[in-house]
Chains A and B, each alone.
Chain A
Amino acid sequence: MKRSLKQFRYETAESLHIALFQIRANKIRSFLTALGVIIGIVAITMMGTAINGIDRGFDKSLAMLGYDVIYVQKSSWSTMGQWWRYRNRADLKTSYTEAINRTIEDNPNSNLLVAVPQMSTYQASVQYRDLTIEQAFALGTSYRYPQTASGDLSSGRFFTPTESAAGTMVAVIGDDIATGLFGEREAVGNIIKMKNSRFRVIGVFRKQGKFLGLFSFDNQVIMPLGAFEKTFGKKGFVTLRVKIRDQKQVDDAKAELLGIMRRIRRLPPQKEADFSINEQKAFKSQLDPIKNGIAAAGIFITGMSLFVGAIGIMNITFVSVKERTREIGLRKALGARRNTILMQFLIESVMICLIGGLIGLVTSFLMTWAIATALPDFPVQFSPALVFASLVVSVATGIISGLAPAVNASRLDPADSLRYE
């Protein structure tokens, strides 16, 4: 037993030696053979990287919405696009928040913390001297807004309860607006114009990036609700932002809010709710099918390229066995067993695949790095799990594609092989 173990070790060492030797002796052929695996592994890792990146980018976006904030709106996020279901609903009123907050105060066991009104429009343009930014997102709210939103100020302050109640013409602006209008200069203290109203800038938000690559939080101009109504009228889109006590009890919180809202809207029990309570989870459930679709397509493409690669390796290993028939005969005459020959060719194909896999990994690592450098917003991420998975796939490809030719080689008749020309 000890002897055969030693023998196995020496034979394996010999096989590794031969394999490296063969690969070095046939560099171009080996490279072309490995190309299939290289492409396959690049496909796998880029795919995995993209999915990782989407996940990460998505989580980042959801964090902007806040995990502990739910939103009452006219339409639902999870059935977006079905606008006809919602267009006949009665508009929400910002004053509902007062009623909600009174209910919360009366109930010490409430799952809700605070409700904050929000009235908004995408159609605002912001002016400073001769500079204009179109399509800014104007948002009127109360002084409690920061409790329900992520992002801190890079300079200045948020408006006070007094300013909030009075509807003072002050604005806290997003980073893009600040840089767009003031460049490197300090924005706080300057007067900007929206429609025909003049606002004093009192604060600037730190840069946050885009939500799902669509909506930018850096493009906002936030002002007291009263100031918003004076400037844009009372026709803005209303959202009630409700902060909850514990994000683990979001379902209880939603149920409680639903009850409060139904009372405010005076809905009889049998009538369907004419408003929607939204949370960030809705986006997740919308994104999952997309992500799975990308993954399925990716696995298919990757599988195809690996399959083609495997056939190439199988083909070249068959050729290699044919070319080295005499060598196989000789090795058998000198005492190589079937398994010795089998291992020799398997190790050779596995090694080609492994080298291909490593080249593929380096290639996709460089590609990921290049993409991440060139487009910092593009979500890509390279993970150790991907490295491991690619190496496993490489070895598996080597074994699968090398098995048939290797078995073939191991069964060659030594006497005939020695005479093979």
Chain B
Amino acid sequence: METSPVITMRDLKRHYSMGEETVKALDGVDLEFLKNDYAAIMGPSGSGKSTLMNIIGCLDTPTSGTYILNGQNVAEMDDDELARVRNREIGFVFQTFNLLPRINCLRNVELPLIYAGVNPREREERATEALNRVGLGDRITHKPTELSGGQIQRVAIARALINNPSIILADEPTGNLDTATSQDIMEIFSDLSKAGNTIILITHEEDIALYTRRIIRLRDGRIESDKKQ
């Protein structure tokens, strides 16, 4: 198995100033993710896991420290460069799904390709293929409002996959789903991992984290533990 690091973080800090006070959401994080990693980031609320997710997902930049994603120093990028990196390198899956409710699955899934400048025919082909991969090939013209929660999250996973990102970043992907559906979704993530994708989950549920091969625990903006399983 290949072991080149996809993500390297060194002494990463993210501080927010709230009036007089400075909140140290992340206070010196060192992390490495290898290709084909399947990791869960855990921690109680206020531990900094959302901040870490935002930074990994290039939605936010660190106050100090380095963050190298696929050889690019993200910490020094401007807004448009970050947008490009998000588009090419990261596939997001959110707790609240975040599909656009009034357009059909196909159009939802092909959104990242529009911003990547892919032509309409190829967009449709690739979106159909991605929906097939998550078992929704027969639902491509349905709108999200016509689907169940589990199906919606599968559409979101298809969208995350479509641009062949370096990492799939899932923020509490089962947080709004019942147990059975959660299991279905986690099976999909496990399958994707077996197919060679790099997956990082943020969760506070132990049984969800157990699907992964690595559990990183955060507390007060620092890494408490980092165990392979």
Contact = CB atoms under 8 A, between A and B. Distances in A.
Q: Do A and B interact?
A: yes
Interface of A: 3-4, 6-7, 10-11, 14, 21, 25, 326-327, 330-340, 413-415, 418
Contacts of A327: 100
A360 B116 CA distance: 38
B83 interface: yes
B84 A10 contact: no
Contacts of B100: 327, 330
Contacts, number: 71
B120 interface: yes
Interface stretch (B85-93, B124-132, B146-154): B85-93
B60 A333 contact: no
A10 B114 contact: yes
Given A334-B111, A415-B60, A6 B83 contact: no
Point out which of A3, A4, A10, A333 has the most chain B C-beta atoms below 10 A from its C-beta: A333
Across chains A and B, which 4 residue pairs bring their CB atoms closest together, nearest first? A335-B87, A7-B117, A335-B115, A415-B59
Nearest to B163: A335
Contacts of B88: 335
Contacts of B119: 6, 10
Contacts of B94: 418
A25 B114 CA distance: 22
B54 A336 contact: no
Contacts of B57: 333
B80 interface: yes
A333 B86 contact: yes
Nearest to A335: B87
Interface of B: 54, 57, 59-60, 79-80, 83-84, 86-88, 92, 94, 98, 100, 102-103, 111-112, 114-120, 159, 163
15 contacts: A7-B115, A10-B119, A21-B102, A326-B98, A333-B57, A333-B86, A334-B86, A334-B115, A334-B159, A335-B86, A336-B83, A338-B83, A340-B83, A340-B115, A418-B59
B98 A335 contact: no
A421 to B, nearest CB: 10
A337 B80 contact: yes
Given A14-B114, A336-B115, A339-B80, 4 more contacts: A10-B117, A334-B112, A334-B159, A340-B115
Contacts of A414: 59, 86
Nearest to B117: A7
Contact of A333 (B59, B79, B114, B163): B59
Contacts of A326: 98
Contacts of A331: 111, 115
